[in-house]
Chain A
Amino acid sequence: MTGKLSCMKKKYLIILVAGACISFISSCETKMPDEKALAAADTVTKVPTASVSKEVLGDIIQSIPSPLEVSFLIKDMGVKYDKESLNSTENISSYNTNYRKALNLGIYSTDLGYANVYGQTQDALYYVNSVSEMADGLNLGQFFDIPTIKRLASNSSNLDSLLLITTTNFEKINEYLRDQDRANLSILILTGGWLEALHLTCEVVKKYPNDALRERIGEQKVILGQLLTLLKYYESDPNIQALVADMTQMQKHYDKVQVSNEYKESTVKEVNGVLQVVDNSVSKIVVTDEDLNNISASSAAIRSKIIN
């Protein structure tokens, strides 16, 4: 009787352990698709991170604002759509290293958002193809449901759904790359996206001088600082080292931008069930013409190295 009981317990144990193993393996498979392919194809070297934890890197990455904010700001100011300012989709064949693919994935993503905000559905579809090609080249294609993205991009009223999908995708990509100690690719994608948004803003200000956009360019000082913090963790990669040098040069121009804040308490009121908070603090950002020209020239030079 005892032997039978023991045998049953053994069988039960085997079934439980086998079940647990299958669940564990399938969860790994879900989280890390095509891991071998990605590792094999990556030419951006796997760089040892400094003392920073994965969590801290992740926190900074997710704090970088969406380049889409700038596209909306430009459109809301009544500025016309300018296709010439965007990176041509024809340049795609020259992006043959993971370093350039990641940066241009960011650039094309910003261009896709810009085209979509302006309701330029044909251009948006071209940029979806470019984004898709860059993502495939980095073996990140599995994170993009291209047919759905194309369907949403073909109608600008679907912008929220498109953003939910693309933001969620980017979060999954970040997590995936972070798990593999290759968050450097995430950071390059972010840097490319940010540079393109800065370039678009500088181009608009050149054609239509505007104080709000000039301030917006000056405020990028904060984000440039964040990006440099991230990029410097991967400086042992020669490509990233060169990018850091260029962006540090740009930061020297930004150092001349004066930002002052005077704190005042917020006031609140309820409007249609929403608590509206008005921050009464005052912030001044002083960007001289010289600062603006230097920042604009610097961003154009860095972008040119990336896209040409």
Chain B
Amino acid sequence: MPPDSSSSRRPWSRWNLLLLAPLLVLITPVYNIDKPRLLGFPFFYWLQFVCIPLSVVCVAIVYLKTGERR
């Protein structure tokens, strides 16, 4: 998205770029495979489950690093 063209009161933080990291889950060819399995789950499935907490960590870091300072 284009940066805020206005005289925003809070400066743009580079931590915000971390919000784009979860887009990596869209590279399906990397994980569209059956093995290795975990608890019987094919790689395709358990990897995407693992991505949920990773995405939460990204958002949490942005939340903590860009807290409202006013």
Question: Do chains A and B stick together as partners?
Answer: no
